[in-house]
Structure formats: structure tokens, C-alpha cells
Structure 1
Amino acid sequence: MNEQASAPGELAFVEALVNTLDVETGVDALDTAEGRRPFGITAREADTARELREALRAACLAHAGHPPHRTTRPLSQLLAGAPLLVTVDDETGAADLRTAEPTSLTARVAHAIAAAAANGTWLRLKACETHDCLWAYYDRSPASRRRWCSMQVCGARAKMRTYRARKES
């Protein structure tokens, strides 16, 4: 549903993972080998990926000021086991964050979040407030106050519901 470009850098990977479930239709891309391929996971790892996805969605909802849509394990708990390494170049002194297990989905997500937090983009990854959407989107608005993934779809529907509710009162 997102009307704008995806999130910048590695945050696009996190956004894509959250958006593997179409809440409105119930279609879950992690149900298919093709849908799991971008994340490098097997069918056996899909349940773990789903748990991570829903914890990420809860964080994205929190970024937008919305309550979680369901109870999930805390994201920090899920990422606690993701081994990340800080390396420092002896000649230049430049520091870099790397995943100790580059093929681990959890480590890749942890790395993306750490990088996004460092450059100030993590809090701009949000989830649409519409209960039958919950699509992740990157908020590029100057004040970072977007509420919906798409003003033309979810925003228009929400405004129409509010209008009708007022007319019925």
C-alpha cells in the first residue's frame, strides 16, 4: 500500500520483512519458498521469522504512536541473541558494525536496526494505524507525523469513517 519509496539503506530490509503479511487479505509471503528467499530462510525458520516480523510491526506501530495490534515477545528480547561485532580499522580508526552470523535473519535485522538508530532513521519506520492494513512505511514527512501508509487509500478510508460517524450522531 505504501505510496512512497521504501525505507533507506538496510532499513528497507526490515520494512520488507514487516510487509510480508498482507493483513487485509491474510496472504503471508513467508508461506512460500519464493517469499522466504529474500530473507534467506527455510520453511522451518518461517515461524521464527513471523514472530520477529510481528515484534517489528509492534515497534513500527509504537513509532507512530499506536498501540500494538496483538501481544508479541518484546523485540529487544528477540534481538538479544543476535551477535553483532564492532570492528575498528587500525589505520584509519573507522568503526564498523558487522553481524557475526551474516546469514542469520535475526542478526541481519539487528544490524539494520542498529545502523538505522545510529543515523536517525529507525524511528521513521512506522506502521499504518488502520487495523486491517498495518503496512510498514517510511515516514518522509518533515515533521515525521504521518499516520497512514497511503493518504489516498487508508487515510481516505479513515477520514470517510470519521465523517460518516459524525453524520450518524
Structure 2
Amino acid sequence: MSERSAAPGGLVLVEGLVNTLDLETGADALDTADGRARFGLAEGGAAGVEAARGLREALRAALLAHAGHPPHREVVPLGALLARAPLVVTVDPADGSAALAPVDEGPLLSRVAAAVAEAVTAGTWTRLKACEAADCHWAYYDRSPAGRGRWCSMQVCGARAKMRRYRAKGA
């Protein structure tokens, strides 16, 4: 959907999960075995896929909030989901650096919680946003100097929005 470069660090996991659903076409990568495998979801685990979809939409709502937009629909708050993710503090013996890590590498929720914690610590969490276009809401990492990006792609969603504004003026 976007020509932007991937989000930094663990945010690439969050960005990838949100972008498993193309709102314009309705295509959902979690409907495919490859899409589920990409996120460590067990084959035939319908409950895990539904939980991943709920997490995806809670993340999308948070990313819309980062961009100053209301949620696209009613979702379980992201904080309520992440509160269930067991994390531990790990310390690298070589340099003494510390990080939050999932207790178990398997569950998607724990890996997302660790990625969010890492991004909050790095100051990058609020730069991950969802496109303001109602038929898109694609996740993207806002690398603009002022951090005020609005669309996943200026050439597609941005151009459409500008054309709609132009036409609405009656020009």
C-alpha cells in the first residue's frame, strides 16, 4: 500500500500486524496459512486468529489516535489487552543494558507488548500512525521532521484527499 520504509525495531511487528488487513479490498492476510505463520499463529487455531484480529484492531485504534483521529470502530482498549501480556526485564551480561521481553516468545500478544514497551522507551511509539483515509487506515511510521504526517502515501491517499478538498471548494 505504501512506499514508506518499515518502522524501526520491534515496531515492524506492530506495523506488519495492522497491515494484514486491506480495508479497501477486504483482503486479510490472516486468512492464509502464510499470513498466520508470519505471526506464529497455530494452524487451525481459530481462537488465536480471532485474538490476533482483535489485537490488530486495538492497535489500529491506537495508531489512529497517534494521528489525532477517533477509533474506526468500537474495540477492546489496547491497554486492556497488553495488561495480559507477561513481560520480564532482561539484562545483557555483556553491556548491562536492560529491556522488557516476553516471558514466552510464542504468543503474539507478548511479542507485541514487548515491541510497544521498546518503542515507548525509544520514544518512537507515537510516530507509528494509521493513515487518516477512511478506506485505508494503513499503518506507517511517520519520519517527517515535525511528526505530523497524515497519510500512508502522499501519492495515493494524500493525493485523493487533496483532490476531494479541491472538488468540494467547487473549483
* 1:88 shift after superposition: 3.6
Partner Cα separation in structure 1 for residue 60 and residue 141 of structure 2: 13
- Out of 104, 110, 113, the position equivalent to 1:110 is 113
Matched, 1:11 2:21: no
Cα distance change of structure 1 residues 108 and 143 upon mapping to structure 2, 3 Å threshold = same
Over aligned residues, Cα RMSD in angstroms?
1.4
Aligned residue number for residue 49 of structure 2: 46
Aligned residue number for residue 165 of structure 1: 168
Partner Cα separation in structure 2 for residue 9 and residue 27 of structure 1: 26
- Out of 72, 77, 95, the position equivalent to 2:75 is 72
Partner Cα separation in structure 2 for residue 29 and residue 3 of structure 1: 19
Cα distance change of structure 1 residues 161 and 91 upon mapping to structure 2, 3 Å threshold = closer
Normalised TM-score (structure 1): 0.95
Partner Cα separation in structure 2 for residue 122 and residue 16 of structure 1: 14
Aligned residue number for residue 132 of structure 2: 129
The one-letter code matched in structure 2 to 1:26 is G
Percent of aligned pairs sharing the same letter:
64
* 1:25 shift after superposition: 0.2
* 1:126 shift after superposition: 0.2
Unaligned runs of 5+ in 1: none
Matched, 1:155 2:171: no
Moved more, 108-117 or 95-104: 95-104
Partner Cα separation in structure 1 for residue 20 and residue 94 of structure 2: 42
C-alpha offsets along residues 110-155 of structure 1, whole Å, 9 cap, x if unaligned? 0000000000110000000000000000000000000000000000
Partner Cα separation in structure 2 for residue 129 and residue 92 of structure 1: 41
Partner Cα separation in structure 1 for residue 17 and residue 80 of structure 2: 18
Cα distance change of structure 1 residues 94 and 58 upon mapping to structure 2, 3 Å threshold = same
Partner Cα separation in structure 2 for residue 65 and residue 118 of structure 1: 21
Normalised TM-score (structure 2): 0.94
Partner Cα separation in structure 1 for residue 36 and residue 92 of structure 2: 35
Aligned length: 168
Unaligned runs of 5+ in 2: none
Partner Cα separation in structure 1 for residue 119 and residue 168 of structure 2: 39
* 1:101 shift after superposition: 1.4
* 1:166 shift after superposition: 0.8
* 1:96 shift after superposition: 2.6
